[in-house]
Amino acid sequence: MDVPHPTFAAGRHSPRLSRRTLLQAAGGLGLAGGLAGCSTLSAGIAGTEVAPGTVQFWNLFSGGDGARLQTMLDDYTKKHGTAALEAATFAWGNPYYTKVSLATLGGHPPDVAVSHLTRAQNLARGGLLSEITDDMLAMVGLSADDFTESVWEQGKVDGKVYALPLDIHPFVLYYNIDVCQAAGVMDGDNMKPIQGLEQWESTLTAIKEETGEFALAVPTIADNATCWRWFYTLYSQHEGATPFLSDGGKELTWNEDIALKVLEHMQKWTTSGLMPKNADYAGAQTMMFTGRSGLYMMGGWEITTAQSVKDLKFGMTAIPQIFDKKAAQCDSHVFILPTMDRSAERTQRAMEFVKEMLDQSLAWAAGGHIPTFTRALDSQEFRDLKPQNNYAEVIDYVVFTPPAWYSGSGSTFENIIGAQIGLVAQDLATPKEGLDQARSQLEVYARTADPLATGEQS
């Protein structure tokens, strides 16, 4: 750039920056930065608490859940002061669990974190979680009886407790009341009961005739988790649906015939136009919100988004029994205490925080979740909570994503199989091709020695 250009020469009128001014400025900046970062930095180097007396809390709640959690956290800070809590929210799925794992291995985990039950088991097996003993529960007046038994038992690894469940969040059906009323599939504010494939398809057809576009919207693009939730719900509704994975993921044991049959149905519904072939997470819910589709399926948490849509009248209910028996995919949000050297005082603080969150289970339930804290679940307030009481029964027949070191919510397993289910629903792969592709990828994981097994002894 030998040729001076007008733009580059613009600086010639400005006073020249001397070396001294530059150094002074840099020193000032460095000092300011040093003061601000000092406590964190020194705590980091010395390995001490960043802010003594503060509970550090990590979670994965965004959207409606995030807003609801914030009110619960505000309640906590109102009682204990803003300095008592440092909460951080991260994007969910594999990246979140990577952060929790690396922070724990690096010796600086949060005091308390949220996890999915299906992921907490793996974290515990990797030696990344502190056991929660009866004594610790007793510190804040809790015991095993305070939690729904089925979920409590699921959270155990080798008979030890590592997870305190907050909720169960099943995959549910949302309906646009105006559309469904016009389609004649409503009985008052609830949908007419649907049982069996025939009724299901005739309901969808009636709704499609009303909307002129789709009957039911479920994401097919860039949402592996939901593709899996939908597929696994249908798979589990079959008699003879064998466990999808066995022996901690070493064996792929799904019933090939049922899996293919389910995929064929899913593809038939999208290619016949009852469901959209191409919809992403936001796109699918918008279709129901705007009446382009009468139904929509997602975890209960989207209730908050739906409530924020002006003039939308909607309801929620359990996914109907389309095949042989009732089933709905679900997971559970739990509190975990990552492994670290905790003083008794610090443990007490962490447990108190969890207890106060559990005490607000009803506020959490308003966000579409089913509480697993029995005091909330059995309360009259929850029984009266609409539309949650429409689907609270699913707690008796929910199915969790099968356990394996590469499995759980938002895991590699869900990404692999969910991607293929999505491609089948998009009509870009045949059911056979999709399932074969998933199998060949999963076989590599099934064959690989469990990298967490070694952590079990520690």
3-state class of 337 per DSSP? coil
Choices 131-139, 189-197, 233-241, 409-417; region in contact with another protein by CB under 8 A: 409-417
**Residue numbers 423-452 binding another protein by CB under 8 A:** 423, 426, 428, 437, 440-441, 444-445, 448-449, 451-452
Choices 61-69, 234-242, 376-384, 408-416; region in contact with another protein by CB under 8 A: 408-416
Least distance from another protein to the Cβ atom of residue 287, Å: 9
Handedness of CA 146, 147, 150, 156 (dihedral sign): negative
Angle at 435 between CA 431 and CA 440, to 5 degrees: 150
Least distance from another protein to the Cβ atom of residue 275, Å: 13
Q: Give the Cα separation of 253 and 107 in Å (integer).
A: 38
Does 283 interact with another protein (rule: CB under 8 A)? yes
Does 280 interact with another protein (rule: CB under 8 A)? yes
Q: Give the Cα separation of 135 and 272 in Å (integer).
A: 58
Q: Give the Cα separation of 375 and 307 in Å (integer).
A: 26
- Rank residues 253 and 286 by Cβ distance to another protein and give the closer one: 286
- Rank residues 102 and 144 by Cβ distance to another protein and give the closer one: 102
Q: Give the Cα separation of 218 and 197 in Å (integer).
A: 18
State the DSSP string of 224-276: HHHHHHHHHHHHHTSTT---SEEGGGTEE---HHHHHHHHHHHHHHHHTTSS-
Least distance from another protein to the Cβ atom of residue 391, Å: 28
The binder of another protein chosen from 7, 143, 343, 380 (CB under 8 A) = 7
Least distance from another protein to the Cβ atom of residue 8, Å: 10
**Quick count: other Cβ atoms within 10 Å of Cβ 348?**
14
Instruction: Return the structure tokens found at 123.
Output: 């974290």
**Residue numbers 108-147 binding another protein by CB under 8 A:** 126-128
Q: Give the Cα separation of 154 and 277 in Å (integer).
A: 35
Least distance from another protein to the Cβ atom of residue 132, Å: 19
Site residues, another protein (CB under 8 A): 1-3, 5, 7, 94, 97-98, 101-102, 105, 126-128, 220-222, 224, 277-280, 282-283, 286, 405-406, 411-412, 415, 419-420, 422-423, 426, 428, 437, 440-441, 444-445, 448-449, 451-452, 454-455
